Chain A
Amino acid sequence: MATPHTLRLVTLGATALMGAVAWTWQARETRAPRRRLRPDTDVLVEAARTLNRSAGLLALAVAADSALEHARGDFHNRAMYTPLATSLLSLLASGHGHRDDAAAAHRLRDGCYLAAGLTGLVGSGFHLYNVSKRPGGFGWTHLFYAAPLGAPAALVLSGLLGYYGERVRDAAGDRVPRVFGLPAGQAVALMCAAGLLGTTAEAGLLHFRGAFQNPAMYLPVTAPPVSAALLAGTALAGPHRPGLRALSRLWLRFTTLLGLAGSAFHAYGITRSHGGWSNWRQNLHAGPPLPAPPSFTGLALAGLAAHALLDEERHLTPFHARLWRRRPAWRLP
């Protein structure tokens, strides 16, 4: 029985479990520190592949979510097929990237990611327009129930993650890998942090709509912003904060797990709708969205990839100290 008491217990238990797993995962990783003196293409390509995978995860979430939601809206506007198509493209590109260990961007993948990102942007515009033409304008009624403003943003993020992945690959050969003028690690970290905050805002809005009836609903509005803050802090604080870095990675791991646990919680939420899973055709729409939470997993994994890049930069710092004297740090590529 879903009494407030059991819900609290379940939330505490799940938090403790995720914390323990995140901790173990982190402990296993830090036991094998890497020591290198030269820039390592493998590390960059590996980070890029992680970004591909993250982009793929977000694309998958968007594909499932937009398919469900737009089917509910009967695809009454042709444009409602676009996010499904481009998120599938992004998914294909990500699968391709995942299998590709070349140290160079791929033009088709770039194209797919750009298409996904643009579709996301246009989608946000569409949803905004949809809300604005309703009576009463931007009231809570429409923020809660009209076309969600945040959903297309996930597609933007998928495109961005993939696009950044491609840039990281391109930078793999460079002595100072840079993306959009920033050191690669920093660039990816800041983008992920922003993505985490945006996704938190979306979860916050929808969980507010659900009145935070289950205390577990507070997790995705607390853990990811902390992750974002730590990640951004790490990226901006420079290489000499090992404690901060470790803490940031731990939170990101927690957030990675949280995204998966979120889907499990949503699956449980569906059992609490009228008819539960036996009425899945209705409750997949009416209940909490199954595909939404893994967006956090995608972003947190990308954040961990940013950490790999940041670590690489840290290892290279002594090596680059001499170079930096000659090169301005904020040069555009």
Chain B
Amino acid sequence: MDALETPRGRHGRAPDVLRPGAWLPMREYPQNEPVDFVIVGTGAGGAPLACKLARAGFSVVAFDAGAWWRPLEDFASDEAHQAKLYWLDERLCDGDNPLKLGSNNSGKAVGGSTVHFSMVSLRFRPEWFKSRSLLGYGVDWPLDWREMWRYYREMEQALKISGPVTYPWGPKRPRYPYRQHEVNGAGLALARACDALGVDWSPTPLATLSAPRGDAPPCVYRGFCVSGCSTNAKQSALTTWIPWAVRAGAEIRDLAMVGRVETGGDGLASGVHYFREGRWQFQRARHVVVAGYAIETPRLLLNSASARHPDGLANRSGLLGRNLMVQTNNAVWGHLEEEVRWYKGPPSLALCEHWNYEDRGKDFFGGYCFMSQGPLPAAWVATQTGNHGLWGQALVDEMRHYNHQVGLKIVGETLPQERNRVTLADEHDQYGLPVARVTWSMGDNDRRLVAHALDFMGRGLDAIGARDIWSEAENTCHLGGTARMGFDADSSVVDADCRSWDVRNLWVCDGSVFPTVGGVNPSLTIQAIACRTADRIVALAARGDL
């Protein structure tokens, strides 16, 4: 059975991804009776929400356009083959710095982008939740950092994050549930660079196991993480929240592309139209949660415009689709005399968050962290051809250094700008839906941040004796914004509970609600917000405010 052709979540059962060939019983809900919650997207935002709402006793149906993979059986040790995990549907990219979408920023699978994410699980710096009032840039979040830190804790426990015994930056945090992984050669190079620069470094907190957990084995350090982990050591939504959600009574529909959220005469959402098994179908719902990530979420809401909502759903503020943020992902590369073998283990085993927590000595707002790197050979070839235009013998010669190569790469904050946005293009995709036009231009502040980072990391590599150092000036990763949360209906799309200001039974629960993106990878924060939203929904329901 090809997971890309035929849905696996049907006939009352779902794949048990932790055991070859096994199935879990799954509840099924009729289409013509409204379920309590329809969730569109099963990634870092949708999956935990589905699980927690089902556990709270709500009827939940979650849709994902992607396939329901069985990593133990379906994942090959082949970078090209694993491109099946990326969202590669057509999108138009423009602006001064058109984004490259796909492998590095969006997934299409049950489990969303977490199926091929690199598992770095960091907390926001507390001040970032009030970056406007405390640090003078961006906008404030309507969330309190102490509350978020409780949810971070819950997420770290739920995903058995393997982290250092003590973390050098920020307020004291409780010990990670699993111990840090062994730091590989690339990570030790970062450690030496940081020692030389006089800043702290740390083993990276990762969502991959350093000891067994249930049916999941500990990591085997083969480094295929961003091509999908075939052992299930990776604690992606696919191997955690999704099976938990199914056990709690949620139904997950794979290969189900939602094209439109329907609204009734009262202006409220009444269900979703989705394409599955060759036809358009309609699922009725009391509440609709959109969790398709920062491009697909605004696209779906814009495409759901109706007479009552001519500019798209939840767009009274005009901010839907605006303030698209990415994180800059620039790197400095070089090679060392000794062998490093950077492909061994998860790609980012060591990190430095110094410039997230230090505000002095900066000519820019925001922060960045940098991590050790370990691209697999094909990805490294792509970096070489893309940046240096190497080809033929020159490329072969360069690849001889592969085992000696080291690199440091940032996850850098970019500031929200209204001109960076997602809109609908005139073209249509395979479902007949208008494709997204993604417009992104780098701001001056973003540029200064990158320049600072490249200089700092370059000095680090120099200090450890790396040769042929060069910087990769163009690269971006994680997305955010486009349906920001805020304090009022005029300046934001959703409130602190991720509930739309305009359509009170419509919610957005994914990376699009971020008002600012900070200088750390977003998935832990997305999951923390999803769990908070679930708790808030339960509380609102108990009060009769749903």
| Chain A residues near B (Cβ < 8 Å) | 1-4, 134-136, 140-141, 144-145, 208-211, 213-214, 269, 272-274, 282, 286
Report whether A213 and B180 are in contact in the complex, using a CB–CB cutoff of 8 Å: no
> What are 7 sample pairs from A and B whose C-beta atoms fall under 8 A apart?
A135-B191, A136-B195, A140-B180, A208-B179, A209-B179, A274-B218, A274-B233
With A136-B201, A273-B218: A213-B212 Cβ-Cβ less than 8 Å: yes
B182 proximal to A (CB < 8 A): yes
Q: Which residues of the other chain, A, contact B182 by a CB distance below 8 angstroms? A: 141, 144-145
Closest to A134 in B: B188
Report whether B231 and A3 are in contact in the complex, using a CB–CB cutoff of 8 Å: no
Q: CA separation between A286 and B212, bound complex, in Å?
A: 12
B496 proximal to A (CB < 8 A): no
Tell me the smallest distance from the CB of B356 to a CB of chain A, in Å.
20
Report whether A1 and B231 are in contact in the complex, using a CB–CB cutoff of 8 Å: no
Report whether A211 and B191 are in contact in the complex, using a CB–CB cutoff of 8 Å: no
Known contacts A2-B212, A141-B164, then 4 further A-B pairs from the complex at CB < 8 Å, ordered by chain A residue: A136-B201, A209-B210, A274-B220, A286-B218
Tell me the smallest distance from the CB of B66 to a CB of chain A, in Å.
25
B447 proximal to A (CB < 8 A): no
- Interface positions of B from 181 to 223, Cβ below 8 Å from A: 182-183, 188, 191-192, 195, 201, 203, 210-215, 217-218, 220
Q: Which residues of the other chain, B, contact A1 by a CB distance below 8 angstroms? A: 214-215
Closest to A209 in B: B179
Report whether A144 and B180 are in contact in the complex, using a CB–CB cutoff of 8 Å: yes
Closest to A208 in B: B179
Of A135, A208, A214, A269, the contact of B195 (CB 8 Å cutoff)? A135
Report whether A144 and B179 are in contact in the complex, using a CB–CB cutoff of 8 Å: yes
B178 proximal to A (CB < 8 A): yes
B390 proximal to A (CB < 8 A): no
With A141-B180, A208-B179: A274-B231 Cβ-Cβ less than 8 Å: yes
B148 proximal to A (CB < 8 A): no
With A136-B191, A136-B195, A274-B231: A141-B203 Cβ-Cβ less than 8 Å: yes
Report whether A211 and B179 are in contact in the complex, using a CB–CB cutoff of 8 Å: yes
Interface majority SS on B: helix, strand, loop or mixed? loop
Q: Which residues of the other chain, B, contact A210 by a CB distance below 8 angstroms? A: 179, 210-211
Q: Which residues of the other chain, A, contact B211 by a CB distance below 8 angstroms? A: 209-211, 213
Q: Which residues of the other chain, B, contact A144 by a CB distance below 8 angstroms? A: 179-180, 182
Instruction: In the A-B complex, list the 3 residue pairs whose CB atoms are closest, starting with the nearest.
Output: A145-B182, A272-B212, A274-B217
B177 proximal to A (CB < 8 A): yes
Q: Which residues of the other chain, A, contact B180 by a CB distance below 8 angstroms? A: 140-141, 144
Q: CA separation between A269 and B211, bound complex, in Å?
A: 10
Tell me the smallest distance from the CB of A211 to a CB of chain B, in Å.
4
Q: CA separation between A42 and B213, bound complex, in Å?
A: 51
Closest to B18 in A: A1
Q: CA separation between A286 and B210, bound complex, in Å?
A: 11
Q: Which residues of the other chain, B, contact A145 by a CB distance below 8 angstroms? A: 182-183
Q: Which of B160, B182, B195 has the most CB of A within 10 A?
A: B182
Report whether B179 and A2 are in contact in the complex, using a CB–CB cutoff of 8 Å: no
Tell me the smallest distance from the CB of A122 to a CB of chain B, in Å.
25
Report whether A273 and B214 are in contact in the complex, using a CB–CB cutoff of 8 Å: no
Report whether B213 and A213 are in contact in the complex, using a CB–CB cutoff of 8 Å: yes
B165 proximal to A (CB < 8 A): yes
With A211-B179, A273-B212: A140-B191 Cβ-Cβ less than 8 Å: no
Tell me the smallest distance from the CB of B343 to a CB of chain A, in Å.
17
Tell me the smallest distance from the CB of B353 to a CB of chain A, in Å.
16
Q: Which residues of the other chain, A, contact B192 by a CB distance below 8 angstroms? A: 135
Of B177, B195, B220, B231, the contact of A211 (CB 8 Å cutoff)? B177
Q: Which residues of the other chain, A, contact B218 by a CB distance below 8 angstroms? A: 273-274, 286
Of A135, A272, A274, the contact of B188 (CB 8 Å cutoff)? A135
Closest to A207 in B: B211
Q: CA separation between A189 and B68, bound complex, in Å?
A: 60
Q: Which residues of the other chain, B, contact A134 by a CB distance below 8 angstroms? A: 188
- Interface positions of B from 140 to 189, Cβ below 8 Å from A: 160, 164-166, 177-180, 182-183, 188
Report whether A140 and B164 are in contact in the complex, using a CB–CB cutoff of 8 Å: yes
Q: Which residues of the other chain, A, contact B213 by a CB distance below 8 angstroms? A: 213
Tell me the smallest distance from the CB of B410 to a CB of chain A, in Å.
21
Q: Which residues of the other chain, B, contact A211 by a CB distance below 8 angstroms? A: 160, 177-179, 210-211
Q: CA separation between A246 and B99, bound complex, in Å?
A: 75
Q: Which residues of the other chain, A, contact B191 by a CB distance below 8 angstroms? A: 135-136
Q: CA separation between A210 and B217, bound complex, in Å?
A: 12
Q: CA separation between A253 and B486, bound complex, in Å?
A: 65
Q: CA separation between A195 and B499, bound complex, in Å?
A: 62
Q: Which of A1, A269, A274, A286 has the most CB of B within 10 A?
A: A274
Q: Which residues of the other chain, B, contact A209 by a CB distance below 8 angstroms? A: 179, 210-211
Report whether B178 and A140 are in contact in the complex, using a CB–CB cutoff of 8 Å: no
Report whether A141 and B183 are in contact in the complex, using a CB–CB cutoff of 8 Å: yes
Q: CA separation between A210 and B211, bound complex, in Å?
A: 5
Q: Which of A135, A213, A286 has the most CB of B within 10 A?
A: A135
Q: CA separation between A274 and B211, bound complex, in Å?
A: 11
Q: CA separation between A140 and B168, bound complex, in Å?
A: 13
Q: Which residues of the other chain, A, contact B215 by a CB distance below 8 angstroms? A: 1-2
Q: Which residues of the other chain, A, contact B188 by a CB distance below 8 angstroms? A: 134-135
With A141-B203, A273-B212: A213-B220 Cβ-Cβ less than 8 Å: no
Closest to B213 in A: A213
Tell me the smallest distance from the CB of A216 to a CB of chain B, in Å.
12
Q: Which of B166, B178, B195, B211 has the most CB of A within 10 A?
A: B211
Q: CA separation between A214 and B178, bound complex, in Å?
A: 12
Tell me the smallest distance from the CB of A192 to a CB of chain B, in Å.
30
